[in-house]
Structure formats: C-alpha cells, structure tokens
Amino acid sequence: MSKTTAVLTTFFAGTVAVGFAAYRGVQRPGEPVMGDVVREIEALGAMRSGLAESFTGEPDKETFGRVCMPVGAEAKRLATENGWKIAQLAERYRNPEHKLDYEALRVFKMMEDDTGLMGLWIRTEMDGAAGSRYFRRIDVEPACLACHGSKANRPQFVKDGYPDDRAYGFDVGDLRGLFSVFVTD
Ligand code: HEC
C-alpha cells in the first residue's frame, strides 16, 4: 500500500470513529492507539502478501508454514502485547473458528458492496466490555490463488486438513475476509 493510501485510510478510519463517537456520545480510544492499530494491521497484511509472493511451485504444509502461520502467530503476539482482541474472519472460511459474527457480517457486506472501503471503526461491546472495533478488508491477490483458487487445485494438505473448507473459488480482487481488532476502553 502506498503511503498516501495508508494516510487516507488512517484519516478515513479516524473520521468514521469520530462520527460514531459523536453520534453515541461515548468515548473512543486515544488517537495514538487508533493509529497503532491501523499501522500494525497494515504491516500484518503486507507480511502475508510478501510471504505469499515469495514461494513458487506446489504449496505444501511447509509452504503454509511460511505463508499463513506466521501471520496468525504475529496477530497473537500483537494481541498479547497490546491487550487487543485480533481475529481474521471470513464469510467463506477455511478454519471454522474464523466465521463472521453478526457485526462483522454487516461490515463484510458493506465492504463487498464498496471496494473502496478499506477500513472502519465502530463503537461496540465484546465479552461485556465497551470499546472500539476496527475492521480492515483483506483482498485476494494473484499469489493467494495457489491455495484459495479453484476447488480442484487446492493443495492436498488443504483438502485433507479442512473438510469444511469454503475458502476456494476466489478471483483476484475479491474480498477474502476481514481483520478485526477490538480495543477495550
Ligand atoms: C500455502 C497456502 C496458502 C496461501 C498461498 C494463502 N493461504 Fe490463506 N489460508 C491457508 C490456510 C491453510 C488457512 C487456514 C489457516 C487456519 O487453519 O487457521 C488460510 C486462512 C486464511 C484466512 C483466515 C480466514 C479463513 O478462511 O480461515 C485468510 C483471511 C486468508 N487465508 C487470506 C489469504 C490471502 C489474502 C492470501 C494471499 C495474500 C492467502 N491467504 C494465501 C492457506 C494459504
């Protein structure tokens, strides 16, 4: 992502959050925290793109270990370090733990309708605590198709390991899913 796009995303995300906060008359995380969330999620997305582009040939368990596993591990590290709740969610998920909740589904539909909608903040609650939740779109790139392309061409380890897999049949540019970050007040 270019610097300008990143700045615009941050600005946009901030504007939406201010709008929601003003509307509901509630507090929101300080701007440094919002900036940190947006920046870390951009880095996480860029990390996967870089990793996905870095291999050639038939993806296997080891390739997966180099593409999506480090992304999940880094998300966990960020969550623990900052006290955030981070998830990757998708309508057509591979791992059933990544099912969209109702709130995320609403945002997913908005992002599906508007390909220019990169990210947004909402005021909400999670596990009984009030806070702010950030969503960032995850789009399909050419390198993702090795594992998220046609059903028949999925690597064997995916066919074997994910009997309830729905994360195939994507085209470049499709909305693959969302990053979700919840920050408690
Ligand atoms: C080497 C195979 C492989 C490649 C390449 C790959 N993925 Fe995945 N992806 C997987 C597997 C396997 C999972 C399930 C991980 C798990 O069990 O949590 C997954 C999960 C995901 C998820 C979490 C939601 C879900 O469906 O469980 C997202 C989002 C995602 N991938 C996006 C991408 C994007 C975007 C790219 C390209 C930049 C990409 N993937 C490239 C194999 C791959």
CB 93 near ligand 1, within 6 Å: yes
Calpha distance 54→76 (Å, rounded): 23
The reported pLDDT for the residue numbered 130 is 94
Nearest protein CA to atom 15 of ligand 1, as residue? 95
pLDDT of the residue at 22: 47
The pLDDT, as a whole number, for residue 29 is: 67
Q: Which residue from 156, 175, 172, 182 is spatially nearest to 93, judged by alpha carbons? A: 175
pLDDT of residue 65: 62
Read off the pTM: 0.84
- Say how many C-beta atoms besides its own lie within 10 A of residue 153's C-beta: 12
Query: Considering its fold, how many domains does the chain have in total?
Result: 1
Mean pLDDT score of the chain: 84
Pocket flag, ligand 1, residue 44 (CB < 6 Å)? no
Long-range CB pairs of 97-100 (<8 Å, 24+ gap) are 98/177, 100/178
Between residues 19 and 53, which one has the greater pLDDT?
A: 53
For 176, the 3-state DSSP assignment is strand
> Domain range spanning residue 118?
3-184
Pair of tokens at residue 173: 């540019």
- Binding site membership of 146 for ligand 1 (Cβ less than 6 Å): yes
Q: Quote the ligand 1 centre to 173 CA distance (angstroms).
A: 15
The rounded Å distance from CA 64 to ligand 1 centre is 8
Ligand 1 within 6 A of 63 CB? yes
3-state secondary structure of 133: strand
Residue 18 pLDDT > 60: no
